[in-house]
């Protein structure tokens, strides 16, 4: 379907010069320190380049994110950076931006349709696999393991869970005794872990699909006086501290700050009439454990 | 063949055996009164006849055929029309819609708004009243709401018209109109069941009267052959001596002075005094502003002018603030509102809670309510007032209307008021209880309480009041002493210049 | 319904004040394209809120509408891909209506408080959605289906047309049909409604069924709009739907309110979200400002001559 | 309050049936350590639900408790780290109470429907939390502070003791103080309460303040339990708190219910979550089963001799 009324010509970006460049950043959520960090990276890059950054928080609601992108289009931002709530569901919104000739950059998660100038993303499946393998290694290749899942049906839940499953299949000594959701939430991570420990007092390891749940699980394990090994994903400050303290085995850092920064830098390039040759930039995944945690701790 | 034949109907509620084998019969075209004390089971019986509640046992025949109504709809379709004692209007629907709700005229899917209004207007005209058809029923005053309830029952073709205390909040004129309509219906073969606590109404209107006592039928009398005393004796199981008590309170010093008082914009410019042990009657038609005056005196609505009370301890006049009912209560003023269900009671709470709401602080020890002490006081009060309830922890909602009224009265007696305002205190109260209430008023005034009595029952007002103030359209039009006050005079003063 | 007069008036003032402020603050706000944008964004919550209005008027509450929407959205995609979208749409509407009827069953037949019955249903429908979709979005929907959520009828987006038609129908139903009057009656005084011969149970079944049906319509629109069915769609949206209803002046105690004012409530919420984005308010401040503006709008809307409704408290 | 008898009875049966089933299904369920585990998990929602009971009894509703909890939890951590945890705790309690009073202000003074007033507050308090924490958890809390959430008093976790003490106090307040009785009066019939000389406004202020205060206590416990203040804590928990209240048989129409039954409601919800985890039920099925079990418990709990409360619908 065609766009609304109003031709976009009068505000078309005639190169750089005096015109203020505006970048719209549509984040899936700010409920999570990971995305707050991503935003901070984006903000730094925007400040450095002297462009205006508009941030929208969708609260993990796809239709809200779609609306926010529509609002960006209405405002005629120069570039939209989207961190989709869902890679499939965001396609129509991206197509609307395409129709309005506003370039789109995907960050952290890809977009499965429409035209995207570039994608800067980390591979969640790979992250899940890396974290799981770090756990299995720490367990010596065998033991009883619980998986703490994120919000059921969310894309990070699916992808990280898929990576975990792949790692489990490759490790015959690992027995998954519990698979429960704690909705990416620390307090639920705590409660659910407490319950899992009741049912499985001989548990050896926990794979948490994010660091928040891992930290909650850690608290439960500590309270129960158990020695259960925990891994998480994201590389948040609290997780790094826990690794440093020897409580947590490892986390997989996806470097949200770098992604935010790179995305905005690319956006500025596009807005100034430049182009980006690389269609996909994989954000480096780093396994952080006791051996290298000092490098990342601020 | 009788129009209605009720045989051995039983009904139990948890803790209450409300009907213990009620039987009676009535003919088409007959006006049949049901009488009985508060809680005798009249409303329960009528709810069973109207399909609102199933009987536990017994048989009901309409036109000779046994009927088993499981929903009021079926009774309605069989031509049964009911005026319930409980508030049965939909506050958000218009007057017209309320009147025709049971069979909304339709054209296909649509409600036929024009016919709704014309049918409703017809029903109201039959009753000789004029009400705004499009106003939501919730916005009307109690009296007007009652008229709507009646109009609701008059709409459509009735075989059997059941009226549970329809006159309780009506004026004399409205009652006259209603009776006329009822007689016309009866003349056209409609059977009418009429419940009222006003004996003179029953004697005037009914052909026969069936008396209920404690859930049992005591008997059926022909009104022409029965004397009022006989009916009352059957009802309460004994003769009631003097109906109205002899006024013999000693009237003392002035306790309350009201100057330039008003409840703007309805009432203005009231100046009067009230003395210890005195009963001051407020007469007026519906809408004259008596309730508003009372509410303003009780701090429920903003007032104009000043209210002074004599400070007992220091023998001096003190101007009392009336920002809220609390202020009024603190000054020793109590108020029994005219609408007990909406203003007088928290229906879902127990007798105990309702009775001690204004006085709870009295039962506190170290901040906690001493429930034992509270219970003892409430039990005592309930006994003194002869409240018929399974226990003081019974929910007020389940008490019969008259007993609810006694609970409200008990609440105000608890504060030992210096001034007690009674707004229609005997509305819906049985003869026995009425006498009780009169006796209570008598006792209170003997102890020096001053009473302001609002009543639309003029004989009652005349018999009880030492002095009468007549209000008309929010103004004081006359003050008359006990001796000069006659029914005709009061009525004339009330209605002078007020268009019918 | 004279008494509602002031509510009407006040809310309209609140709305106009808000729109005026946004027009002054943002040059794009008052453009046709942005207004249609807002209207389209409002349409889904608008559909849910229309159904919720019936339930609230009947003195009930339905907090399962978000889950029902997600379930119906998944069904239209799943069945649609397998058997065509005509059948898919039909199946989704049936499922939504069935969920609503189940709510009605528990409320009416088993006397479960509406809040609890629909809370349970919120979980059940969400779980059913996850099971049906295996927790994955269903995408790859054909272009033809996308018209419902993204198409235009002349200058107006199709979902907006759908929403407006729904409101027109709901308004007419509530005001001019016997059923509509019965909804007010049951909500205003259930006992009196029964005494007047109204089959209150049927009315209650119907209002929950309507809420479920409209949630399903919302789900179809949403799936089409996103070109995929998201199993996590509509989490928490019940609060928005109820907010629109109550903001529109309906009483949670039943019997009072109007569906047109619900639309106004939904529009206020939508305009507020749109305005925040247009003005680039920092996300952390958005919630604060939104809350403050809602309070302000209601307080302004509540202003009325003294001595009316003085005993109204609570929710 | 005799009439509530059957509700009591039924709910206890529902609860025992649930517990019995879990005992049969899982060998660990009926162990002291698991029971204490459940009790501790229930404690936070339990605290919120206790406050919510006051509001619901007064015929109001407070959906801001989750945000208030998060705000207070952030305040105790932030102020605590800067000025010590005694001051931190005090500040958190003050903030919670202030939020409650603000709710009361809007409900009473400006006659904003409770749902809307507290919905706005839900946003405002959440925004304030995000602003205060900059969207990041506040961690690094000292061991001494962690006792509140994780310590034990003999064989019982400290949060459980706190919760039980709160319920005891709430019960005594509601049953044995004038204020408590006024709450029922205001909720049952605000008009009649006013006519009886009760300062209904003060009562309403107080109930919202209590809800805010107890939400703050919950926030302190939560922060201590997690050893960090999460700005996103308690999103959506208001539904759980209200669910506990209504599951406990309180009417959303006010004036009816008891805080002890709220505790039972909260326990049912907690046991249900625990049981799901113990039995390792697939997350997709959990919601379905939870919903079904809640319905079942209420239907069982609702069973009573015929002819009582037949006009109760909605709510
Ligand atoms: N739903 C109920 N639950 C419990 N008890 C009830 C219920 N309805 C009525 N009762 C009891 O049944 C008895 C009969 O009540 P009913 O209302 O029929 O009396 P009544 O004769 O109409 O009295 P009144 O003249 O005061 O209206 C009373 O004791 C009353 O408390
Ligand atoms: N909520 C209301 N809204 C509008 N008008 C009202 C309302 N309540 C009462 N009125 C009107 O105020 C007037 C006074 O009411 P009311 O009938 O109580 O008068 P009154 O003088 O107390 O007479 P009585 O005591 O005989 O009923 C009436 O005209 C009534 O219709
Ligand atoms: Mg009666
Ligand atoms: Mg009056």
How many Å separate Cα B407 from the centre of its chain?
A: 14
Per-residue model confidence (pLDDT) at position C51: 98
Q: Which residue has the tokens 């003063």?
A: B493
Look at ligand 2, atom 29, and give the residue with the nearest C-alpha.
Answer: B287
Report the distance separating Cα B384 and Cα B444, nearest Å: 13
For residue B142, pLDDT beyond 50: yes
For residue A16, pLDDT beyond 60: no
pLDDT digits 0-9 by tens, C25-61: 998 899 998 999 999 999 999 999 999 999 999 999 9
What residues flank ligand 2, with Cβ below 6 Å? Answer: B 139, 141, 143-144, 284, 286-291, 338, 454, 456
Using a CB-CB cut-off of 8 Å, the residues of chain A touching C155 are 4-5
Closest CA to D131 of A84, C291, A52: C291
Q: Classify domain B4-236 by CATH number.
A: 3.40.50.300
Per-residue model confidence (pLDDT) at position D311: 36
- Whether B414 has its CB under 8 Å from any CB of chain D: the answer is no
In this structure, of B419-433, C261-275, D21-35, the range with the lowest mean pLDDT score is: B419-433
Per-residue model confidence (pLDDT) at position C314: 35
Per-residue model confidence (pLDDT) at position B241: 66
pLDDT digits 0-9 by tens, C188-206: 999 999 999 999 999 999 9
Q: Which residue has the tokens 């995609």?
A: C77
In this structure, of A5-14, B374-383, D194-203, the range with the lowest mean pLDDT score is: A5-14
Residue A157 to residue C222, Cβ atoms within 8 A: no
pLDDT digits 0-9 by tens, B346-368: 999 999 999 999 999 889 988 89
Name the minimum distance, in Å, from the CA of A55 to any CA of chain C: 7
Note whether D230 and A191 are within 8 A (CB): no
Per-residue model confidence (pLDDT) at position C308: 38
Report the distance separating Cα C269 and Cα C311, nearest Å: 28
For residue D3, pLDDT beyond 60: no
Closest CA to A146 of A183, A219, A199, A215: A199
Residues in chain B: 500
- Residue B16: strand pairing partners: B13
Q: How confident is the model at residue A7 (pLDDT cuts 50, 70, 90)?
A: very low
Q: Which residues contact B149 (CB under 8 A, 6 or more apart)?
A: B83, B84, B88, B89, B166
Report the distance separating Cα C162 and Cα C174, nearest Å: 18
Helices (H) and strands (E) in chain A, counts: 10, 12
Report the pLDDT averaged over residues B290-314: 91
- Domain boundary assignment for chain C: 47-302
Task: Tell me the H-state helices in B127-170.
Answer: 142-154
Report the distance separating Cα A216 and Cα A194, nearest Å: 9
Report the distance separating Cα C136 and Cα D315, nearest Å: 35
Per-residue model confidence (pLDDT) at position B338: 87
Report the pLDDT averaged over residues B2-13: 94
Q: Which residues contact B326 (CB under 8 A, 6 or more apart)?
A: B299, D197, D198, D199
For residue A205, pLDDT beyond 70: yes
Per-residue model confidence (pLDDT) at position C3: 42
Phi-psi region of B237 (alpha: psi -120 to 50; beta: other; left: phi over 0): left
Select the more confidently predicted residue: B243 or A65.
A65
pLDDT digits 0-9 by tens, D121-170: 999 999 999 999 998 999 999 999 999 999 999 999 999 999 999 999 99
Per-residue model confidence (pLDDT) at position D12: 85
For residue C315, pLDDT beyond 50: no
Note whether C235 and C257 are within 8 A (CB): no
Atom of ligand 2 nearest to the CA of B456: 26
Percent of chain A beyond pLDDT 90?
78
Note whether B196 and B175 are within 8 A (CB): no
For residue B371, pLDDT beyond 80: yes
**Strand B419-423 and strand B450-454: pairing?**
parallel
Task: Identify each DSSP E strand in C104-246 by its residue range.
Answer: 138-139, 152-153, 156-157, 228-229
Atom of ligand 1 nearest to the CA of B41: 18
Q: Classify domain C47-302 by CATH number.
A: 1.10.3470
Q: Using the 8-state DSSP alphabet, how is residue B103 labeled?
A: G
For residue B269, pLDDT beyond 70: yes
Residue A63 to residue C233, Cβ atoms within 8 A: yes
Both tokens assigned to B417: 């008021």
Nearest CA in chain D to A199: D278
Report the distance separating Cα D215 and Cα B149, nearest Å: 47
What residues flank ligand 1, with Cβ below 6 Å? Answer: B 13, 16, 18, 36, 38-44, 85, 388, 398-402, 430
Residue B393 to residue D308, Cβ atoms within 8 A: no
Name the minimum distance, in Å, from the CA of A8 to any CA of chain D: 35
> What are the residues of chain D with a beta carbon less than 8 Å away from any beta carbon of chain B?
1-3, 172, 176-178, 181-182, 184-185, 188-189, 191-199, 255-256, 305, 307-308
- Residue B364: strand pairing partners: B369
pLDDT digits 0-9 by tens, B436-453: 889 888 988 998 999 999
* Ligand 4 center from residue B287 Cα (angstroms): 7
pTM across the whole model = 0.91
pLDDT digits 0-9 by tens, A246-297: 999 999 998 899 999 999 999 999 999 888 888 889 889 999 999 999 998 8
Both tokens assigned to C75: 């069904």
Q: Classify domain B254-332+416-496 by CATH number.
A: 3.40.50.300
Task: Please identify among residues 56-75 of chain D the ones whose CB lies closer than 8 Å to any CB of chain A.
Answer: none
Report the distance separating Cα B97 and Cα B458, nearest Å: 34
- Domain boundary assignment for chain B: 4-236, 254-332+416-496
Average pLDDT, chain A: 90
pLDDT digits 0-9 by tens, C283-308: 889 889 989 988 988 887 666 554 43
For residue C313, pLDDT beyond 80: no
């Amino acid at each position: 379907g065609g766009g609304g009324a109003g031709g976009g010509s009068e505000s078309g970006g005639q190169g750089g010069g005096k015109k203020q460049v505006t970048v719209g950043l549509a984040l899936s959520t700010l409920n999570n320190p990971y995305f707050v960090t991503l935003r901070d990276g984006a903000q730094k890059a925007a400040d450095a380049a002297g462009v205006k950054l508009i941030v929208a928080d969708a609260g993990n609601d796809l239709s809200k994110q779609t609306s926010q992108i529509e609002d960006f289009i209405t405002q005629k931002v120069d570039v939209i950076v989207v961190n989709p709530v869902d890679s499939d569901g965001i396609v129509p919104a991206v197509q609307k931006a395409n129709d309005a000739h506003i370039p789109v950059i995907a960050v952290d998660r890809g977009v499965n349709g429409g035209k995207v100038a570039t994608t800067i993303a980390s591979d969640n499946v790979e992250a899940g696999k890396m974290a799981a393998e770090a756990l299995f290694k720490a367990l010596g290749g065998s033991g009883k393991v619980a998986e703490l899942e994120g919000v059921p049906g969310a894309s990070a839940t699916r992808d990280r869970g898929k990576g975990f499953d792949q790692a489990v299949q490759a490790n015959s000594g690992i027995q998954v005794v519990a698979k429960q959701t704690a909705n990416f939430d620390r307090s639920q991570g705590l409660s659910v872990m407490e319950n899992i420990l009741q049912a499985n007092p001989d548990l050896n390891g926990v794979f948490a699909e994010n660091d928040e749940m891992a930290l909650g699980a850690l608290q439960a394990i500590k309270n129960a006086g158990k020695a259960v090994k925990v891994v998480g994903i994201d590389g948040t400050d609290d997780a790094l501290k826990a690794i440093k303290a020897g409580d947590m085995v490892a986390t997989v850092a996806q470097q949200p700050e770098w992604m935010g920064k790179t995305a905005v830098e690319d956006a500025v390039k596009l807005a100034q009439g430049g182009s980006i040759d690389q269609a996909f930039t994989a954000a480096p995944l780093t396994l952080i454990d006791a051996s290298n945690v000092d490098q990342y701790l601020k | 063949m009788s129009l209605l034949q009720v045989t051995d109907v039983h009904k139990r509620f948890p803790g209450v055996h409300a009907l213990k084998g009620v039987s009676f019969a009535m003919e088409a075209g007959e006006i049949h009164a049901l009488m009985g004390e508060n809680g005798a089971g009249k409303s329960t019986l009528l709810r069973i006849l109207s399909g609102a509640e199933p009987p536990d046992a017994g048989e009901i025949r309409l036109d000779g055929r046994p009927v088993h109504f499981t929903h009021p709809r079926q009774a309605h379709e069989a031509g049964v029309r009911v005026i319930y004692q409980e508030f049965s209007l939909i506050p958000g629907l218009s007057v017209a819609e309320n009147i025709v709700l049971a069979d909304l005229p339709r054209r296909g899917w649509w409600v036929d708004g024009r016919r709704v209004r014309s049918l409703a207007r017809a029903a109201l005209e039959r009753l000789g009243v004029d009400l705004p058809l499009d106003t939501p029923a919730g916005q009307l005053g109690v009296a007007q709401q009652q008229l709507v309830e009646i109009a609701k029952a008059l709409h459509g073709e009735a075989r059997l018209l059941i009226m549970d205390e329809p006159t309780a909040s009506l004026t004399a004129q409205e009652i006259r109109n209603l009776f006329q309509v009822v007689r016309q219906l009866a003349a056209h073969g409609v059977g009418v069941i009429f419940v009222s606590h006003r004996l003179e109404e029953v004697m005037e209107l009914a052909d026969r009267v069936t008396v209920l006592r404690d859930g049992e039928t005591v008997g059926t009398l022909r009104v022409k052959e029965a004397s009022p005393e006989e009916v009352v004796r059957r009802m309460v199981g004994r003769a009631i001596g003097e109906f109205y008590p002899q006024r013999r309170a000693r009237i003392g010093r002035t306790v309350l002075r009201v100057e330039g008082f008003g409840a703007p914009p309805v009432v203005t410019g009231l100046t009067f005094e009230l003395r210890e042990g005195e009963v001051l009657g407020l007469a007026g038609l519906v809408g004259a502003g008596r309730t508003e005056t009372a509410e303003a005196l009780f701090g429920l609505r903003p007032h104009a002018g000043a209210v002074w009370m004599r400070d007992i301890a220091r023998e001096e006049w003190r101007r009392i603030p009336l920002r809220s009912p609390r202020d009024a209560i603190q000054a020793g003023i109590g108020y029994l509102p005219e609408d007990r269900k909406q203003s007088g009671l928290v229906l879902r709470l127990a007798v105990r809670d309702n009775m001690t709401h204004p006085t709870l602080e009295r039962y506190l020890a170290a901040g906690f309510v001493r429930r034992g002490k509270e219970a003892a006081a409430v039990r005592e009060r309930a006994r003194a007032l002869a409240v018929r309830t399974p226990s003081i922890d019974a929910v007020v909602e389940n008490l019969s209307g008259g007993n609810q009224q006694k609970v409200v009265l008990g609440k105000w007696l608890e504060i030992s008021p210096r001034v007690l305002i009674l707004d229609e205190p005997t509305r819906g109260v049985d003869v026995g209880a009425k006498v009780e209430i009169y006796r209570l008023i008598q006792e209170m005034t003997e102890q020096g309480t001053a009473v302001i009595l609002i009543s639309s029952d003029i004989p009652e007002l005349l018999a009880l009041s030492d002095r009468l103030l007549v209000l008309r359209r929010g103004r004081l039009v006359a003050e008359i002493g006990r001796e000069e006050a006659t029914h005709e005079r009061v009525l004339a003063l009330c209605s002078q210049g007020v268009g019918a | 319904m004279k008494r509602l007069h002031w509510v009407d008036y006040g809310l309209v003032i609140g709305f106009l004040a808000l729109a005026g402020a946004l027009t002054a603050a943002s040059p794009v706000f008052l453009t046709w394209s942005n207004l249609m944008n807002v209207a389209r964004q409002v349409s889904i919550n608008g559909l849910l809120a229309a159904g919720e209005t019936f339930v609230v008027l009947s003195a009930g509450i339905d907090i399962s509408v978000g889950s029902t929407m997600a379930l119906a959205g998944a069904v239209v995609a799943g069945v649609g891909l397998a058997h065509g979208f005509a059948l898919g749409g039909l199946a989704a509407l049936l499922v939504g209506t069935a969920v609503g009827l189940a709510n009605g069953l528990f409320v009416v037949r088993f006397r479960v408080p509406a809040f609890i019955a629909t809370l349970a249903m919120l979980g059940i429908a969400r779980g059913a959605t996850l099971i049906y979709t295996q927790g994955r979005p269903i995408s790859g929907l054909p272009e033809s289906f996308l018209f419902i959520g993204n198409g235009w009828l002349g200058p107006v987006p199709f979902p907006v047309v759908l929403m407006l038609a729904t409101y027109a129908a709901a308004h007419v139903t509530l005001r001019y049909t016997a059923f509509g009057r019965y909804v007010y009656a049951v909500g205003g005084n259930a006992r009196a409604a029964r005494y007047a011969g109204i089959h209150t149970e049927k009315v209650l079944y119907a209002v929950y069924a309507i809420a479920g049906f409209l949630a399903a319509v919302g789900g179809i629109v949403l799936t089409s709009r996103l070109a995929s069915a998201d199993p996590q769609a509509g989490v928490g949206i019940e609060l928005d739907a109820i907010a629109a209803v109550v903001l529109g002046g309906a009483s949670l105690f039943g019997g009072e309110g109007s569906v047109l004012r619900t639309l106004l409530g939904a529009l206020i919420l939508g305009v507020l979200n749109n305005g925040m984005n247009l003005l680039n308010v920092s996300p952390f401040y958005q919630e604060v400002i939104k809350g403050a503006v809602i309070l302000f709008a209601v307080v302004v809307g509540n202003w009325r001559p003294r001595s009316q409704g003085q005993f109204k408290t609570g929710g």
